[in-house]
Structure 1
Amino acid sequence: MRRRLDQIDLRILQELQDDGRITNQALSERVGLSPRPCLERVRRLEKEGLIVRYQALVDVRKLQSCVFVLAQVALEKQGRDARHRFERRLRDTPEVIECFEVSGPFDYIAKLVCEDLDAYQDLTTGWIDDPELGVARVVTNVVLRPVRDFGRYPIFAGEGPASAG
């Protein structure tokens, strides 16, 4: 059984993306519900997997010196086993903070945070030199400055698939 999200559910998702630490009282006031039904909706959205987790966004640039890099990666083979091996390595590499399988001349685009360019070069050279990974090439773009870091996902009212229910 699947159900569509109503406008209140969508508003709850928007508000929680802006402030995951908002109190239930404040959230209920912002979305126009009393606290109990609001909390029940949040719990249902969590149970249905629409709210995946809550986390703090840290400005790593204020914490330490580092370099952000976008790496476009092409594999020698596009088979399922090759992709799984490479993806497993990426998941086990803490410097990889985001990665997407993409269409086009590259197979993946990864966002990495490394201590410096030498550390980044060591990391990607290790990928290329590992015959089990099958990395054909890596094209690097060093991030000079962020123009817009991740904010929140736009939520389009009345669009998209129904949620599980």
Structure 2
Amino acid sequence: MDRIDRRLLQLLQRQGRSSAQALSEHVNLTPRATLNRIRRLEEERVIEGYRAVINRDALGEHISVFAEIALKDQRQSTAQRFEQRMLSTPEVVACYLVSGRYDYLVRLCCRDITHYRHLTNAWLDDPTLGIDKIVTSTELQTVKEFAGFPIGWGEDREG
């Protein structure tokens, strides 16, 4: 990836619907050359997809909760069952395997605290998930939401 690829990635993270024409003006290439680079980045899976960022207020009343989850054991089968449940639960909007006192950090979006409590109680009652403890923090305000990864660290690594 060279400087132009990184600049394209920065621009696309901010505005994924930009046309090749608009992007080309920022990277000083022709629209065709810009589009070819974008297609290559997609084929190489550097760009994994595009999505809409939805205004959370448009969803109506809801709560966002961060749950630190510790498993009872570290066996691969336990982790796989837990991760599969997180992947299949629509309320789980992000799940990270982390180091430290807990094994996972899970972000959930629920209608209300009762919805969250029912969901996590069901997890705790399911012995196949192997959950030992859930510690919850409720989001009060979003100060900075994820808007893309920093791009441009290091030097050009062409070739």
Q: Same fold per TM (> 0.5)? A: yes
TM-score with structure 2 setting the length = 0.96
Partner residue in 2 for 1:56: 52
Partner residue in 2 for 1:88: 84
Partner residue in 1 for 2:93: 97
Deviation, 1:158, is 2.9
Of the three residues 60, 68, 76, the one matched with 2:64 is 68
Within 1, Cα distance between the matches of 2:120 and 2:55?
A: 24
TM-score with structure 1 setting the length = 0.92
Query: Residues 7 and 157 of structure 1 are in contact (CA less than 8 Å); yes or no, is this contact kept in structure 2?
Result: no
Matching of residue 23 in structure 1 with residue 19 in structure 2: yes
Deviation, 1:60, is 2.0
Amino acid across the alignment from 1:40? N
Within 2, Cα distance between the matches of 1:55 and 1:159?
A: 29
CA displacement 1:72-119 (0-9 Å, x = unmatched): 000001111000000000000000000100001100001100000000
- Once the two structures are aligned, what percentage of the paired residues are identical? 45
Within 1, Cα distance between the matches of 2:72 and 2:154?
A: 42
Matching of residue 119 in structure 1 with residue 115 in structure 2: yes
Within 1, Cα distance between the matches of 2:80 and 2:98?
A: 15
Secondary structure of 2:57's counterpart equals: helix
Matching of residue 138 in structure 1 with residue 116 in structure 2: no
Within 2, Cα distance between the matches of 1:157 and 1:125?
A: 43
